[in-house]
Amino acid sequence: MSADSPVQTGGSLGERARSDDDRAAIASAHSLLARQRAAFGQNMNPSLDARLHDLEKLATLLLSNREAIASAISADFGNRSRHESLLAEVFVTLKGIRETQKALGGWMKPRARRLEWLFQPGRAEIIPQPLGVIGILSPWNYPVQLALAPLTAALAAGNRAMLKPSELTPKTSLLMKQLLSQAFSEDKVAVIVGGPLVGEAFAGLDFDHLIFTGSTRVGRLVMRAAAETLTPVTLELGGKSPVLIHDDAPLEDTALRVMTGKLFNAGQTCIAPDYALVPRGQRNAWAAAFRSAAMKLYPRLESNPDYTHIINDRQLARLRGALDEARAGGATVYEVNPAGEALAPSSRVLAPHVVVDAPLDGALMQDEIFGPILPVVPYDSFDDALGFINARPRPLALYSFGRSEARHQRVLRGTVAGGVTVNETLLHVGVDDLPFGGVGPSGMGRYHGQAGFDGLSQLKPVFHQYAPNATALLRPPFGRALEGLLKVLLR
């Protein structure tokens, strides 16, 4: 993604119209950035009360419009479970706001630091200071939570913010623009809507910090665009999050927990379990248990309001192509369709699938799946399982299931991942006092709770010197006093 890529012209009337809309959106983004910078210059350190008031407006927006939010997301997906939206979009975001409100006064206070004797008398402290204007590029899979959780951190830190939501959820994006414009002036919070060209230009704006949530591939492009203006970035990416199942893990309960995390939002979750490592001798039993768990969770599919659809035809075709490739490569592919429904292609419903022996060089084992498909990968020893994980790019999440605390500790100490949940899936992301973020190809930077506040603040180091003091010894012409001091310092 190049920040200075020209907006293409020509083509059909429809293409030209979109281009004109993009031009207008890009011009608006530049104008709004200038307005927000000017407004920030007039009030560079909002009070605690002002920040709490902004957060309360955000909380009220969520609560008052929760059904409209769920409906808009469902319309964008074709069907998105109302309960999933209320839990993952409204509740999780609201909980983050409430926890931030409780702790914000403490986060804003200067933080004293230890001072060595050499600098006495004096005082050292860190003062959190707002950065300015924060850019937020949010994705389609959780279009409200992954826009408003970063916004929570931005407002708590005293910043202003501009959001560019995904064009793949247009109804939700327009609803957010409408609701946020009612709650905030555009020089505090602004929403820019538009297609990829607008996102491209947005990533190249001279923000004080840019937060992007999306794929690793696009994350590289965003980072390249931000480099042109030396804008610091937080990249929340993805990758293949493994589930490591120990040989003493309880079969049915573990399978149910894994499939709950796998099939939430039809697997369209950046921290969804991406593949399950199971003991080789138990491979068939685990494959059967995963299928049984999926049947319990979703006894029917197309007519089930709880079962979320795939976001668009392109993603559906990609997932079906990956399944076809696995079959052609010798994998055993189990479709879980308990009611035997004839799933209409136009509905974008993809049944859960459990795949055994997927080719390691195929899409299911190379790419983030982002769908209701779980490959089952056998291992011979626990060391082999850890080696399998460590031979691959570092994941955004990792899950460890078993009864032995010693083995869980081996997993925690012997692997590197953005975050871990033990004996469950997904839940670490909901703990507000745990930083959320990736490592290596799965991302950089952290937010949620104080990590978000600190990441979007300038933690300004300050040293206060008092008189009298010994700094005169450090000025030329140097003499015997400094020689004596150096003998002490350089022991």
Active site residues: 236, 270
CB 305 within 8 A of CB 343: no
Which of 200, 331, 340, 214 lies closest to 270, judged by CA? Answer: 214
Helix extents (H) in 43-194:
48-64, 66-77, 82-85, 92-108, 145-156, 170-183
CB 168 within 8 A of CB 76: yes
CA triplet 262, 266, 269: central angle to 5 degrees?
A: 65
CB 375 within 8 A of CB 273: no
Give yes or no for a cis peptide into 468 (omega within 30° of 0).
yes
3-class DSSP string for 285-306: HHHHHHHHHHHHHCCCCCCCCC
Return phi, psi of residue 437, to 5°. Answer: 175, 175
CB 130 within 8 A of CB 45: yes
CB 271 within 8 A of CB 309: no
In terms of C-beta density within 10 A (0-12 exposed, 13-18 middle, 19 or more buried), how is residue 130 classed?
buried
Q: Which long-range contacts does 317-325 make (Cβ < 8 Å, 24+ apart)?
A: 318/363, 319/350, 319/369, 319/370, 319/371, 319/373, 320/350, 321/363, 322/362, 322/363, 322/364, 322/367, 322/369, 322/373, 323/353, 323/355, 323/364, 323/373, 325/359, 325/362, 325/363, 325/364
Token look-up 């990758």 returns 239
